[in-house]
A and B are shown apart, each in its own frame.
Chain A
Amino acid sequence: MTTTLPQTGTVSPATRLRDFAARTPDTIALREKSRGIWREFTWAQFWDQAETFAHALLASDIDRGDRVAIHSDNRPEWLFTDLGSIAGGAACMGLYPTNPTAEVEYLLDNSGSRLLIVEDEEQADKVLAIPTSDLPMLEKIIYLEHRGVDAYDDPRLMSWDAFMELGRAHRSAHPDAVAERMAGAKPEDLAYLVYTSGTTGPPKGSMITLANLDYATREIAGDQGIVQPGPGPDDLIVSYLPLCHIYEKLFSVVFNTGAGVPIHFGESLDTLVTDMRDVQPTIVQGVPRIWERIHAAIQVRLASASRLKRINAAIWMTSASYVGNTLARREGRHTAVSRGLTAIGNLFLFRSLKDRVGLRRVRYGVSAAAPIAPEILQFFMSIGVPLHEAYGMTENCGVATTNRPGRIKLGTVGEPYPGVELRLDAETGEILTRHPAVFAGYWSMPEATERTIDPEGWLHTGDVGEWVDGTHVKIIDRIKDIIITSGGKNVSPSEIENTLKTSPFIKEAIIIGDRRKFLAALIGIDFEVVSEWAQRHKLPHTTYRDLSEKPEVVTLVQKAVDAANQKFARVEQIKAFRLLTKELDHEEGELTATQKVKRSVVEKKFSDMIESMYR
């Protein structure tokens, strides 16, 4: 495979894709579920589409280093755009499908994108709502879905098919043009602009180079990478996290072009469970929220099963918790007893349980992008889903530390990759990393870049960490999120928040307490789960707000809070909480596109509620 290539020289993802198309043209590279069946793309077809896209870029006078933006849900065209742009020498910039018009304007303007791919009428409407004069750089808007958009008469609009037709014409006129572009690519060339989610300020565009990607490919998807034995064409990955985020790119692009793992696109995010069940992926990437939701769904559905099934589940979940404790103690390695219990439990419960949620054939699962509660990790390990926590960020191309199979320390984010230099700042405890995947800087923000990468090449992550047993890294929290109570105690809110979120009833938790006399929490309930609970307890309710205000629900959450408090020292215990009366939302600015809470916005919006707790 590509990993046997000499360690010198940068290989771009587009080149890797072309190599796969040459070596195994008829093997499946992508699958997309559409109208009930999984439509397949071979490597040859994949490369043909990407190459045609690259030709179309050349035909549209896109120069090396120009930005091409795409505003779409995950689908094969996303990868055609992504790899076609790299082949054509352009940098691909993705927008979150949930980005509202104002953010679309900011991102297009800040990146100076010349071309925008929009998925459908919804995304087209967002960009067309911006006056043409405000986006002077934007020349073409290419739409994938015709419905509704065909009727628009903006001169910049062009259909995907027409655009690809340009590419085909260009290819027959200049058959070698793309190959020449690719041959002229340099390691420092820009591959992606990846905008950080921006929990504090406006999003910043991280410049990811071909060299960054190449290094990340070798560390992550190589034969000595995170998946052991090395990943290959027999593995399957479902692409569902936003593709504009570096995390999904590591899986949908890096594992695909780096190791030949076929990527699967489901029908939509709403059908994720069905799609996962169809595909039964072997490698699963998830953010804590996803793992929490699967965990909650399993708990709720086991609890609402018929009697015999409940008894069966109770027996084997008890066995599983023993297995989980053993695995946690032994860094993820089985004993003969735990292996035996798992094997028997598989027959009665785990195998079918995992099959229902699409995790039956997982050989490597990973949680990253935000801290996850160790209880969740242990739960999945105990039922036989090898879940590992890893740590990385856009600015280091997602490459920093990971827990390795058999060397798992729960509560840590694992060990640095072999080629990663990682140290803690002596004064602040901030984690610093240095390796070839550290980004080239923020797009058009030299001061911000200077603050982040020091002259010696160390990336300042903004996270405070500590060493565990000298090998593993534990993240305390974001530097700026650490709460100092009026008593002078340092408290890491995310740890408490995640413990709260292990309760299936709690979806959102925000700890308050900076310069206050005790800790308090704003808690958002999980509407689906609590609603189901309310129905079982014959508690009539209507909206989210109505349900949140029920005293019975407050009591329910109080129990979860009490349980969480058991695990913490007195100063870290939550003395008061209020239930949010609305679901936090990206469009209303309370969450980032990656569903992270914007603390400052929430604290301002719910200030009355917060004050009421300290009165």
Chain B
Amino acid sequence: MRLRPGLVADYRSDVAIFRSNVQRFWFAVLLVAVVLLGLGGTLPLIPGLVDFSLTGDLLLIAVSAVFASIGAIGLNIVTGFAGQVSLGHAFFLGLGAFTGAVLGGSEVTRQVVDLSTGQFVEKTLVVGYQLDLSIWLPAAGLVAALAGLIVAPVAFRLRGLYLAFVTLGLVFIGDHLFREASILTGGVGVGRPTGVPSLFGFRFDQDGEFFGIFLEKEQKLFFLGLVLLIVLGFVAKNLARSRVGRALAAIRDRDIAAEMMGIPLARYKMIAFVVSSFYAGVAGALLYSAIGHLEPGTFNLLLSIEFIAMVLIGGVSTVSGSIMGAVFITFLPKMVKWLAGITVFGLDPFFFISDSPAGGFVNLPQMELILFGGLIVVFLILEPLGLYGIWIRIRNYWKAWPFSY
């Protein structure tokens, strides 16, 4: 019944993603706003439109935010929905990134002198097959998922702190592998080119026209990410409201009780890990393709913690919270920089933050780290439901209107 959202006649509509036209409407509004953010000034159809589009480095950060959102949703599936704390997200992100780079990136060769012949010969430093996006992107997800499948049996036997430690181990194993396999990764400090985002000949990493609209490469990447985020976001939401999602929630809330209710723990934990790793793989492959270059040292514990922060600050076990968290954390460095430059009445309230890597009390990257830690602590204590929780509270305030409960 359209006018009566409470009059649900079947469970399907009871668990529907959009339970009313009002929700559908606001989702559409949000979507249009986000599209305008990316399109804004370049839209030739509406001249004189107030241009609130993102440009320059902000747009590049937005591209990262969209890709990071996919990764954050992935971590939320295993840590939020299923309650299995994973510190190993960086490993899966890395696997995806390097798979994408190997399959979609270009080869790196160097002229070396063959000492026996004295001739210049081509030596392959890093392999690359330059395959299409439609191949390397799914492959990145699948390879990560496969790794998740292999790791999953360990996770069946552990939970909580122990699981966190085992997944922490993954990061170190991964770090070592990425450093040593220089034929694939380019090696420490050198790196390699990433997968080229080229879909059936359409280059997302070059400026160009798209249906008569001139788009910068960041804009193209932004929309590529947006489409993928919407698709994968809905997949995650559907997963959460289905049988699998309910099983995962049961395991999160009390694994022993869930098992007593007939939920096979092993199978569902495995599903959580595999799906989560797939998301991580896709996100990892995309994240660095925007920059074009990839370095094995990136995939360390810090990256895992960055994603944990996205989930905790955004909102545990919600898709929209993951996105909010990812956007927030990705924009954090920019905000810190902005804070450092701020002056009030000629004074610099944030004098202790230094622009230069060497000087000052703390430099920018250090300040970011301090903020990560601080924000996680603050959110865990004050708003365990994260940004999503704040949103929920605002929503409930109006939902309960004119009462308070």
Contacts and interface: CB of A to CB of B under 8 A. Distances in A.
A103 interface: no
B405 A301 contact: yes
A402 to B, nearest CB: 27
Nearest to A277: B6
* Interface SS of chain B: loop
Contact of A279 (B4, B14, B404): B4
Contact of A313 (B7, B8, B9, B402): B402
B14 A36 contact: yes
B9 A38 contact: yes
Contacts of A306: 397, 404
Interface size class for chain B? 10 to 19
B3 A280 contact: yes
Interface in A496-555: none
Interface stretch (A165-173, A349-357, A458-466, A596-604): A349-357
B403 A305 contact: yes
Contact of A352 (B8, B402, B405): B402
B361 interface: no
A280 B404 contact: no
Contacts of A312: 402
Interface in A274-305: 277-280, 301-302, 304-305
Nearest to B399: A352
A227 B4 CA distance: 21
A31 interface: yes
Contacts of B8: 37-38, 278
Interface in B10-54: 10-11, 14
B345 interface: no
A356 B277 CA distance: 43
Contact of A302 (B11, B14, B403): B403
A105 B400 CA distance: 47
Contacts of B10: 37
A206 B405 CA distance: 45
A312 B4 CA distance: 26
Given A37-B8, A37-B11, A352 B404 contact: no
Given A278-B4, A280-B4, A40 B402 contact: no
A434 interface: no
Interface residues of A, number: 24
A352 B4 contact: no
A309 interface: yes
Nearest to B8: A37
Nearest to A36: B14
A39 interface: yes
A39 B14 CA distance: 12
A277 B5 CA distance: 10
B369 to A, nearest CB: 38
B364 to A, nearest CB: 40
Contact of A309 (B4, B14, B401): B401
Interface string A303-340: 01110010011000000000000000000000000000
A277 B10 CA distance: 17
A573 to B, nearest CB: 35
A16 interface: no
A586 interface: no
Nearest to A312: B402
A37 B1 CA distance: 13
Given A36-B14, A37-B11, A37-B14, A349 B402 contact: yes
A361 interface: yes
Interface in B165-205: none
28 contacts: A36-B14, A37-B8, A37-B9, A37-B10, A37-B11, A38-B8, A39-B9, A278-B4, A280-B4, A301-B403, A301-B405, A304-B403, A305-B402, A305-B403, A306-B397, A306-B404, A309-B401, A309-B402, A309-B403, A309-B404, A313-B402, A349-B402, A352-B401, A352-B402, A353-B402, A356-B400, A361-B3, A361-B4
